[in-house]
A = this chain, B = another copy of it.
Amino acid sequence: MTTKIVLEKDVEVEKPLLIEGLAGIGHVGRNCVSFLAEKLEAEKIGELQSHHFPPYTIVNDNKVLESLKNDIYYVEINGKEVILIEGNAQASNNEGHYEIAEEVLDFAEEKKVEEIITIGGYGKGDVVEQPSVYGAVTDLETKEKFEDLEIDFDHEVGQIVGISGLLLGLGERRGMKGIALLGETPGFLLSDPKSTEAVLEVMEDYLDVDLDYSSLDDKVEESQEVLKKLQNLKQNQGEPEQSSDLGYIG
């Protein structure tokens, strides 16, 4: 095995929008995209598997084992085709981040993706009252396009670590354009519903949909469970070699 996308079902698409959000700081990226996939009733069409993920296997509440993976969904919203990628893991080493990003971009290129939105968290290291949504773009034209939304382009973010940055930086080399949306979050919260909602509101606006947030709390609680287990793991089984913070950023 290396890194590969396994499709359960192929879809014929026309320049779809790609939205990515994986496990990371405050779990903002993953919670956003997982919530979007559920609310928009997106269909799971495949998954990305990689030996660059940490060598864990998750035990869920039914004591059933689940491999780490990134799920790929498809949905049409208001006539716009959208592919979503969300999942419980990022690469556990540096080269892995590049390899997984390139694998996603190969798929995106095949599907003729022209726009990418990546979602993550940005840890402030302090309490955050009203979380802002920071933006970083591949080009100034894209910045203009997103200017009317509730996105803060006046921030101090100097770099984006992990797939949320790489998809855009490397995607730009293939002619794709896009934006990274980073929900401001304390950084010490396992899961940050306020920050997640702030980013979702921007997405709601951009996709022109109405989201019912009432189930967001469940979603958040669920991922909080997983993260608590992860904490236990570190205490009970020792911390694996490369589960650096990096694995949970972006």
Chain A residues near B (Cβ < 8 Å): 1, 25, 49, 51-59, 62-67, 91-99, 102, 122-125, 135-140, 143, 153, 155-162, 165-166, 168-170, 172-173, 180, 187, 226, 228-230, 232-233, 235-242, 244-246, 248-249
A74 to B102, CA, bound (A): 30
This protein's copies in its complex: 4
Residues of B close to A122: CB separation below 8 A:
236-237
Beyond A1-B98, A1-B102, A66-B169: 5 further Cβ-contacts under 8 Å? Answer: A65-B180, A93-B241, A125-B235, A159-B233, A240-B244
- Contact (Cβ within 8 A) B180 A241: no
Q: List 23 A-B contacts (CB under 8 A).
A: A25-B238, A51-B95, A55-B166, A56-B160, A59-B157, A59-B159, A62-B140, A63-B137, A63-B153, A64-B136, A67-B170, A92-B94, A95-B96, A122-B237, A158-B228, A158-B233, A161-B233, A161-B238, A238-B246, A238-B248, A238-B249, A241-B242, A241-B246
